Structure 1
Amino acid sequence: MRFTKSLAALAATAAVLSFAGPALAEGDPAAGEQVFRKCAACHTVDEGGAARVGPNLWGIYGSQAGGNEAFAPRYSNGLKEADFVWNAETLAPYLANPREVIQGSRMAFQLRNEQEVTDVIAYLKTLSE
């Protein structure tokens, strides 16, 4: 794997960033949809939607990291070799600092506000239910 950090370190990073525990469950999907507008320059969220600079994120919550077959050739090596599922515990540190979490990640945008992170995660989760 080409992770900068192990999955155990991901959890530790989430804790350090205060993105762990009950706060992740308190996200507001409607607010997350508004925050997601910042992400929409690179990502779509329509079922079966096209990729942009980044992959379509429909159904990402609960899916294998780097598992979008339509986007597979364009993933960074770190995501191609990823061996974890996207959930609140893995998305939180990734959204806060993607290049710190996955070596070679092409995603440069960071959500530094904890509430925005939890809201976006809550929104993405609704697109996977």
Structure 2
Amino acid sequence: MRNVLTAGLLCLAAASVGAQDLGKKTFEQCVACHSLQAGENGIGPTLHGLLGSTAGTVEGFRFSGPMKRSGIVWDEKNLAEFLRNPQALVPNTRMPFSGLTDEAALKALVGYLAAATK
């Protein structure tokens, strides 16, 4: 029984590392505009401290009116919804990204951002 439990835990750990790697790889398309470093805005706002923050409030970044008025407090669920189709969640957002349709990559990216933006 102990060997089965150990093998199960190793499989879960490997899956977690795989998802983290996929999330990091998926994020590579985001770094052209976004940083994970506090105060480091680029074409897009820094993502540092993203979860739990209110959309459109990163200091020093000029957001669209719709994003500022959205009232969204970012959590993993609405972040996934936004990344799946930004214009559907916040019509007329300035983010020129059409969305991420690969569900495994989307889930991995949200998990990666949840860990990397604290």
* TM-score clears 0.5: yes
- Partner residue in 1 for 2:58: 68
Task: Give the match for residue 52 of structure 1.
Answer: 42
Select which of 27, 34, 50 maps to 1:43. Answer: 34
State which structure, 1 or 2, has the greater radius of gyration over its C-alpha atoms: 2
The alpha carbon displacement at 1:87 in A equals 0.9
Paired position in structure 1 for 2:7: none
Q: CA deviation at 1:84?
A: 2.2
Deviations 1:72-120 (A, max 9, x none): xx11111111212111110111101101110211112111111111111
Percent of paired sites with the same residue: 35
Alignment of 1:74-113 (within 5 A): 74-109=62-97, 110-113=99-102
* Equivalent residue, structure 2, for 1:118: 107
Contact map agreement 2:47 2:117 (CA 8 A) in 1 = no
Structure 2: which 5+ residue stretches go unaligned?
1-15
**2: CA distance between counterparts of 1:99 and 1:53?**
18
Q: Do 1:29 and 1:126's aligned partners in 2 also have CA atoms closer than 8 Å?
A: no
RMSD in angstroms over aligned alpha carbons? 1.8
Gaps of 5+ in 1: 1-25
Displaced runs of 4 or more, over 4 A: none
2:24 aligned with 1:33: yes
Residue 36 of structure 2 contacts residue 117 of structure 2 at CA under 8 Å; is this kept in 1? no
